[in-house]
Amino acid sequence: MPRLAPSLLRQARAIDVLLPPLLPACRDLRSAENELRWLKDHAIKTGRQCGLAHSDASLKRLVARRARGEPIQYILGTEYFGDLELKCQPGVLIPRQETAASVTHLAQQLSKKRKGRPSDLHILDLCSGSGCIPLLFHHEFYAQPGNEHCKLHMVGADISVQALELARRNQKSQIAAQSKRVTAQTTSLAAMRFLHADVLLSEAANAIHAPIGVVEALQQLTNTRPTPAYEVLISNPPYISSQAFRTTTARSVRNFEPKLALVPDNPSSAPSALDGDVFYPRLLALADQLRTEIILFEVADIDQAQRVATLLARQSTWRTVEIWRDEPGATSDEADHVLLDGGESVPVRGAGNGRSVFAYRGAAAAWLQ
Amino acid sequence: MPNTFAVPDYFVSPTLLTRARTIAQEHASLAKRLATDYDVSAARRLGELQSTSTAVREYDEAHSALEELQSLLTSTDQELRELAEEDIQPTRDRIEQASAALKSSLVPVHPFAHLPCLVEIRPGAGGDEAAIFAGDLVRMYKGYCARVGLRSTQLKYDTADEPTHVQEAVLEVDSPGSYGMLRCEAGVHRVQRVPATESKGRTHTSAASVLVLPSIPTEGGGDMGEASFDDPKSDYYVDPKEVKLEVMRAGGAGGQHVNKTESAVRLTHLPTNIVVAMQDSRSQLANREKAWQLLRSRIAQLRREEREEEIAKLRRGAGAGKVGRENKVRTYNWGQQRVSDHRSGLDVRNLDNVMEGGEALERIMQSVRTWMAEQEVLSLVAEEENSQAQKK
């Protein structure tokens, strides 16, 4: 990390003595000032709740935590994800803005044409973490006009019990923020479920304590033997390779966020630059078992996006495969397609880094195209 | 009208009087028509004309009373003359009041006067000193709002190298009617003093500009009257297709690799190139809403100015300068501890009280409001004369 200019530190000290310690974590004065203000507000708010008149000492403690690199979202306990304010806690990955942009774009794509679209949509989110994806998808989907009678059946799954608890808490506070009227929107939110399951587990587990596989968990939920169908499969799985984790991942992420949610824990023989890919083949196998027609998988960058797109192309069941950038809806002068190893051309939408892979097949092609 | 006591305060220009009489006539004929045939729109029009009609009647009665008294003054009867002399002054007062009522009944209420407002303060010429003065003005208006009971929140407070050097500040005064109260503050405010940054003790002249914009409620509202922002005809209407939204993201790898909070939003109105950036809140949604609010207000102000430009010639003919951003409106002189407003011509000695937003500031503002009302009447007269000339 480049050293901070002494003039910047001097400037910061002139504004507030608490700013210089924040600079190494924030990097620029602007964000340091913003973060200090948010920390102040938080100190005052929590101080008031405890009946304390002075919040100076607690503010200093918060600043010290942030100065050590702790993510501000863990300190404040929340993060804004799209239009939603979600709870955050150490041990569970903080929702990322880019994920929100992809999910919002997906909700818009699924709302473009309603003719031919089933009146009930089954949506599964694997590696759900804080539950941010199903909660935001729900919010954005019903924000689109014409969707008020469509029912969403949403399930999130995660291997972490801590994440599941947080996801359920987030679901509760979203329910509390909704109107009390019974609509497709409110019943869909109340019916959302978060399951304990291990995505990488392909066969029914014989261990009693370990989490069971995804298909098994879904069968238990619906209490049916034939595997239920999920038209839409979304996932933001751990995708960082062990090499990139050492070189690219920010220190604050490495030191404070759960590695379980970032780097696939798999003793595979893949080289350390590619061992971030292990979830994707497994996700595609699940998509086949669950008769999925639409997928949206988050990826680390354009290279990983191309590798995932190549997997999809090899399956040859997918009618359309697209790569979405950070802001899929924006226009940019970056390349609008990439060529895969097999020679197929895949469109790349939006602006920013390659962020996710989107594909559809079967009946969904009729109403998505 | 034979009136030898005509002094400026009594004086109502012939054109204005003609206009008032035309209105009174319309009022009379409407009242007659409504007696036989009720009609909602006519009844509403009658209500609008009522105050002018009453004012004209009072004005005429006061004048004929004065005439009568004057004829009595020439009377040979000593006692009668003394009685008349006693009554002269109250009658003059009555005329004065009637003239004022007549003028104010003709002054159109500003269409946005009932709205809350945004006060934008930016340094002008004068470098650091101007930026410091901009900060002084922010405190002055905050103090004023607190004192007179207007709710104000700091929407934006951007500083440069030093915390006291304000680059741009926006106060939101969300009490209804605050636009009507504060719109007299728009313009260039000049400061003359020895700056804190000056080592040789020289007096500098710097300036800061104050923009007062009517603020629209965030929800498309009923109390906006004609100024609803969903209505393409309204000044507040901004076509979303003409606005480019940019969200500023952390550079680098993104995704799971970083957890930086990036909620900054920038809106660009493409036809006018007006840019609004907002980053104060952690919520991008909140920043977006604030940015939209500010953008709408700025565009509405621009449109109003464009429209005002069209009738500006008339107003200049009537001696009314435009109260826009280019005119110097007030000077704050530290050396003499004096604040003078260049529009109303009022001088106030109590500089400290003004800078605290105290009662002295209110006095200046009141003088400007009166001045603005007079200018409105003058421009009305100019317009009236112009339309008369066109008829001929």
B331 and B289 in one domain?
A: yes
For chain B, report the end-to-end CA distance as a whole number of angstroms: 25
List, in sequence order, every residue forming a beta bridge with A360; answer none if it has no partner. Answer: A294, A320
Residue B168 to residue B135: CA distance in whole angstroms: 9
Find the range with the poorest average confidence among A190-199, A261-270, B183-192, B356-365: A261-270
For residue A284, count CB atoms less than 10 angstroms from its CB and return exposed for 0-12, middle for 13-18, buried for 19 or more: buried
Residue B378 lies in a domain: yes
Query: Which residue in chain B has the smallest CA separation from A299?
Result: B255
How does strand A151-158 pair with strand A193-198?
parallel
Find the range with the poorest average confidence among A115-129, B1-15, B329-343, B349-363: B1-15
Q: Could you tell me if B240 lies within 8 Å of chain A, comparing CB atoms? A: no
Alpha-carbon A211 to chain mean position:
21
Q: In chain B, how many domains are there?
A: 2
Residue B340 lies in a domain: yes
Q: Closest to B249 (Cβ–Cβ): which among A11, A83, A326?
A: A326
B23 and B165 in one domain?
A: no
State phi, psi for A180 to the nearest 5 degrees: -80, -5
Percentages (nearest 5) of helix, strand, coil residues in chain A:
45, 20, 40
What is the mean predicted confidence (pLDDT) over A112-140? 94
Element (H, E) at B188: strand B187-193
Residue B5 lies in a domain: no
B159 and B80 in one domain?
A: no
Q: How far is CA A173 from CA A68, A86, A168, B269, in A?
A: 30, 9, 9, 36
Q: What is the CATH number of domain A91-368?
A: 3.40.50.150
Question: Could you tell me how many residues make up chain A?
Answer: 369
Task: Provide, rounded to the nearest whole percent, the portion of chain B with pLDDT above 90.
Answer: 22
Closest Cα to residue A239, out of A326, A182, A156, A302? A302
B98 and B131 in one domain?
A: no
pLDDT at residue B250 tops 70: no
B73 and B149 in one domain?
A: no
Residue A2, SS3? coil
Highest mean pLDDT pick, A227-231, B12-16, B30-34: A227-231
Query: ipTM of this complex > 0.85?
Result: yes
Q: Could you tell me if A300 lies within 8 Å of chain B, comparing CB atoms? A: yes
Residue B9 lies in a domain: no
For residue A165, count CB atoms less than 10 angstroms from its CB and return exposed for 0-12, middle for 13-18, buried for 19 or more: middle
Q: Could you tell me if A244 lies within 8 Å of chain B, comparing CB atoms? A: yes
Element (H, E) at B226: none
pLDDT at residue A311 tops 90: yes
Q: Which residues contact A80 (CB under 8 A, 6 or more apart)?
A: A86, B263, B282, B283, B284, B285
Residue B392 lies in a domain: no
Residue B3 lies in a domain: no
Task: Provide, rounded to the nearest whole percent, the portion of chain A with pLDDT above 90.
Answer: 66
DSSP of A123-162, one letter per residue?
Answer: EEEES-TTTHHHHHHHHHHHHSTT-TT-EEEEEEEES-HH
Find the range with the poorest average confidence among A190-194, B55-59, B108-112, B221-225: B221-225
Considering only CB atoms, which chain B residues are within 8 Å of A300?
Answer: 253, 255-257
| Domain range list for chain A | 6-68, 91-368
pLDDT at residue A89 tops 80: yes
B121 and B62 in one domain?
A: no
What is the mean predicted confidence (pLDDT) over B311-328? 46
Residue pair A236/A355 in contact by the 8 Å Cβ criterion: no
Q: Which residues contact B135 (CB under 8 A, 6 or more apart)?
A: B164, B165, B166, B169
What is the mean predicted confidence (pLDDT) over A128-153? 95
Confidence band (pLDDT; 50, 70, 90) for B218? low
What pLDDT shows up at residue B341? 94
The tokens for B57 are: 């009647």
Residue pair B166/B158 in contact by the 8 Å Cβ criterion: yes
B293 and B152 in one domain?
A: yes
For chain A, report the end-to-end CA distance as a whole number of angstroms: 46
Q: Which residue has the higher pLDDT, B157 or A254?
A: A254
Residue that is last in its domain, among B77, B106, B135: B106
Closest Cα to residue B210, out of B168, B256, B246, B181? B168
How does strand A294-298 pair with strand A232-235?
parallel
State phi, psi for A73 to the nearest 5 degrees: -65, -35
Residue B1 lies in a domain: no
Closest Cα to residue A228, out of A146, A158, A289? A289
Q: Closest to A253 (Cβ–Cβ): which among B159, B249, B258?
A: B258
B151 and B68 in one domain?
A: no
Write down the residue that tokens 């473009």 correspond to: A112
B276 and B196 in one domain?
A: yes
What pLDDT shows up at residue B372? 82
Residue that is last in its domain, among B79, B106, B133: B106
Residue B195 to residue B129: CA distance in whole angstroms: 6
Query: Which residue in chain A has the smallest CA separation from B158?
Result: A30
Highest mean pLDDT pick, A53-67, A316-330, B113-127: A316-330
Confidence band (pLDDT; 50, 70, 90) for A46? confident
Query: How many CB atoms neighbour CB B93 within 10 A?
Result: 11
Alpha-carbon A47 to chain mean position:
32
Residue B31 lies in a domain: yes
Residue B283 to residue B261: CA distance in whole angstroms: 9
What is the domain range of residue B335? 117-252+259-386
Considering only CB atoms, which chain B residues are within 8 Å of A276?
Answer: none
Write down the residue that tokens 């403690």 correspond to: A61
What is the mean predicted confidence (pLDDT) over A154-163? 96
Q: Could you tell me if B261 lies within 8 Å of chain A, comparing CB atoms? A: yes
B95 and B129 in one domain?
A: no
Residue that is last in its domain, among B81, B106, B131: B106
Please answer yes or no on whether B261 and A249 come within 8 Å at the CB atom: no
B212 and B323 in one domain?
A: yes
Highest mean pLDDT pick, A23-37, A201-215, B150-164: A23-37
DSSP of B280-348, one letter per residue?
Answer: SSS-HHHHHHHHHHHHHHHHHHHHHHHHHHHHHHHHHHTT----SSSSEEEEEETTTTEEEETTT--EE
Catalogue the long-range contacts made by A141-147 (C-beta closer than 8 Å, 24 or more residues apart).
A141/A107, A141/A110, A141/A111, A142/A184, A142/A185, A142/A188, A143/A107, A144/A107, A144/A108, A144/A111, A146/A111, A146/A114, A147/A111, A147/A114
Query: Which residue in chain B has the smallest CA separation from A95?
Result: B259
The tokens for A217 are: 């968990």
Confidence band (pLDDT; 50, 70, 90) for A333? confident
Confidence band (pLDDT; 50, 70, 90) for A255? very high
Q: How far is CA A211 from CA A93, A128, A202, A286, B71, in A?
A: 19, 15, 12, 16, 110
Find the range with the poorest average confidence among A67-71, A224-228, A343-347, B128-132: A224-228
Residue pair B206/B189 in contact by the 8 Å Cβ criterion: no
Query: How many CB atoms neighbour CB B369 within 10 A?
Result: 15
Count Cβ–Cβ pairs < 8 Å, chain A vs chain B: 93
Residue pair A25/A67 in contact by the 8 Å Cβ criterion: yes
Considering only CB atoms, which chain A residues are within 8 Å of B254?
Answer: 96, 98, 326, 352-353, 355
The tokens for B197 are: 């940054």
B128 and B62 in one domain?
A: no
